[in-house]
Chain A
């Protein structure tokens, strides 16, 4: 057995009773020619087994960078984690040496990406790539690894898995490739799955298939799912809780029903009012004026204030504190009462 095949329970400080995943005050910076881009500015998140947490936000809000920091796959340089903790069952992953961290990746926390074609290796068959996981991480024999690869393809409902296992990624359709990537992520039975825009590149009917597959697999395995997306429709269908991000911060966090019925942050509310809906034909869409801020030049106070309809002087001067407005409901908005209309 090589180093990686050693069992993960050997992680020093691992406490099976500690929360599954807890991100505390995470900061990530990118040092660029145009200055320091503060991509993540104090993100707090937690995830329980069997739960789906949606991290919702537009391009550049820091949602993908947060995921990369959790996984330990941040491009360094230019990216640097400059503060905070990522606790997996009580172990701070950010302080682990890389050799220990590799045992966590795929084994305990796995990730799938938007673009399956570029995430898979084009010159190996999908069977080889799946089997490789078992051979490297578990020291399984080739024969046994291939058997398990077929089993996995079957579990992600790829028809005729026994034959398809020897196909190359380009021989699969977009939806089928996404299934292959899900199979790879789940191969070693992780407790946490991070899905970064897993269906954004897919057609709606295929998206529905993939989301339903993910939900089934999550239920079967009691996995914690962190779904990173910009799609408020997908979120409404699958999430238990939602964390809304803006300019590198979680601005509102709430159970899914509450956030759609009573958004408690001006940004969340404006976002919900700006999307066209399938279930009715509305009037002119509510527009959020202006643009998301440049991360090298984040506005003072509340980062949303230049675009906010509720903003007053205080929003420019002081960053809003995190108000706990109900159990599991946190919002960082100075005018939460006005936004809620109470």
Chain B
């Protein structure tokens, strides 16, 4: 398939710990096509941020491949790696700490051009930066201002402009709106959607907010303890979830409609997520799963299409349960 812009195969990242290793990402296969948004959801510690860092090369994988337009980044080096990386950029969560307070907005957005000198447009860096400011809805005359002179939402726009500077095809967004107020979130989400339409960008959109992910994603992958447990298009995941964890996650999200109170299918999970340093054997979700059988401890369920799941689901007992009842 030629329109796949990003693909990972067997991606693994283990961090050395005092004893053994923290298995943050433990075998992730994903594909991203041109112009689409892949949402990645999961709770703290599921490995979604480590995955983001691996994709943009901020962490080196322990194992596996990251292919951008078919080229395996993990095997490239030097100029070839640098050129390939241009194609995949990142927007970070916290617009307060991800911008250097001592650099002007112009220097922040223009910095990618200092590293990738041959990517500077012919009309010069300054104009390129002003154009980027305009694209993300900021005043191009503010090029010499500092981050503290902007609000949180505006700072996130600066982060987006920086990610756009090298004209990437892919942007990895790690919780891009979770630090923002509700009324500002919508502005940034709409901006990301507009840019995608205009520039044909593909997004890996990582977030813990399932409502935001549903809004923006074409396809969704649900992560639990370093693995993808279920993946499919947004309707499959939200309306026909087959993995018990996805079902529990969806049922726990509050919906802003009091009429649904007491009428929703609430699945209350017991306990906390186990430590990724010592994940359960077999199926990692089995310690909190109400469907678990003794066999779940021995046989790890693969992420595949199953008899009762039209999309890939990593559960031996995958079966649709409607947790999102609608009016």
On whether the beta carbons of B238 and A278 are closer than 8 Å, the reply is yes
Q: Which of A174, A237, A275 contacts B186 (CB 8 A)?
A: A275
On whether the beta carbons of B324 and A279 are closer than 8 Å, the reply is yes
On whether the beta carbons of B261 and A204 are closer than 8 Å, the reply is no
On whether the beta carbons of A277 and B183 are closer than 8 Å, the reply is no
Q: Which of B141-149, B252-260, B306-314 contacts A (4 or more CB under 8 A)?
A: B252-260
Q: Which of A234, A257, A276 contacts B215 (CB 8 A)?
A: A276
Q: Which of A175, A234, A260, A276 contacts B257 (CB 8 A)?
A: A260
Complex Cα spacing A275 to B326, Å: 17
Nearest residue (CB) in A for B235 is A281
Q: Which of A246-295 contact B (CB under 8 A)?
A: 256-257, 260-261, 270-272, 274-282, 284-289, 291-292
On whether the beta carbons of B259 and A230 are closer than 8 Å, the reply is no
Within 8 Å CB of A276, what residues of B?
Answer: 186, 189, 209, 211-212, 214-216
Contact (A58, B257) CB under 8 Å given A203-B208, A204-B249: no
Cβ of A32 to closest chain B Cβ, rounded Å: 16
Complex Cα spacing A289 to B324, Å: 31
Q: Does B98 contact A (CB under 8 A)?
A: no
Q: Which of A42-50, A71-79, A81-89, A206-214 contacts B (4 or more CB under 8 A)?
A: A206-214
Contact (A291, B253) CB under 8 Å given A203-B43, A208-B266, A284-B193: no
Q: Which of A174, A175, A285 contacts B189 (CB 8 A)?
A: A285
Q: Does B250 contact A (CB under 8 A)?
A: yes
Complex Cα spacing A288 to B326, Å: 27
Nearest residue (CB) in B for A199 is B254
Q: Does A233 contact B (CB under 8 A)?
A: yes
Within 8 Å CB of B153, what residues of A?
Answer: 291
Q: Does B272 contact A (CB under 8 A)?
A: yes
On whether the beta carbons of B183 and A271 are closer than 8 Å, the reply is yes
Q: Does A176 contact B (CB under 8 A)?
A: yes
Within 8 Å CB of B209, what residues of A?
Answer: 276
Within 8 Å CB of A260, what residues of B?
Answer: 256-259
On whether the beta carbons of B181 and A208 are closer than 8 Å, the reply is no
Nearest residue (CB) in B for A277 is B211
Complex Cα spacing A261 to B272, Å: 35
Complex Cα spacing A286 to B210, Å: 19
Complex Cα spacing A159 to B268, Å: 16
Contact (A280, B326) CB under 8 Å given A236-B255, A272-B256: yes
Cβ of B144 to closest chain A Cβ, rounded Å: 21
Q: Does A173 contact B (CB under 8 A)?
A: yes
Cβ of A233 to closest chain B Cβ, rounded Å: 3
Nearest residue (CB) in B for A207 is B252
Within 8 Å CB of A2, what residues of B?
Answer: none
Nearest residue (CB) in A for B256 is A232
Cβ of B261 to closest chain A Cβ, rounded Å: 6
Query: Which of A176, A212, A272, A291 has the most CB atoms of chain B within a 10 A radius of its CB?
Result: A291
Cβ of B53 to closest chain A Cβ, rounded Å: 20
Q: Does B151 contact A (CB under 8 A)?
A: yes
Contact (A278, B183) CB under 8 Å given A204-B249, A231-B254, A257-B259: no
On whether the beta carbons of A287 and B181 are closer than 8 Å, the reply is no
Contact (A205, B269) CB under 8 Å given A236-B256, A291-B151: yes
Query: Which of B43, B184, B186, B208 has the most CB atoms of chain A within a 10 A radius of its CB?
Result: B186
On whether the beta carbons of A277 and B255 are closer than 8 Å, the reply is yes
Within 8 Å CB of A278, what residues of B?
Answer: 210-211, 214, 238, 250, 253, 255, 324
Q: Does A59 contact B (CB under 8 A)?
A: yes
CB<8 Å pairs between A and B, sample of 21: A173-B272, A174-B44, A203-B273, A205-B269, A208-B251, A211-B254, A212-B268, A230-B181, A233-B211, A235-B256, A236-B254, A237-B261, A271-B183, A272-B256, A275-B211, A278-B210, A278-B214, A278-B250, A281-B215, A285-B190, A292-B183
Since A207-B252, A287-B187 are in contact, a sample of 15 more A-B pairs with Cβ atoms closer than 8 Å, ordered by chain A residue number, is: A58-B183, A203-B273, A230-B181, A236-B258, A237-B254, A237-B261, A260-B259, A274-B182, A277-B214, A278-B238, A278-B324, A281-B215, A281-B234, A288-B186, A289-B187
The 8 A-B residue pairs with the shortest CB-CB distance, nearest first, are A233-B254, A276-B215, A203-B43, A208-B252, A285-B186, A274-B186, A288-B183, A58-B181
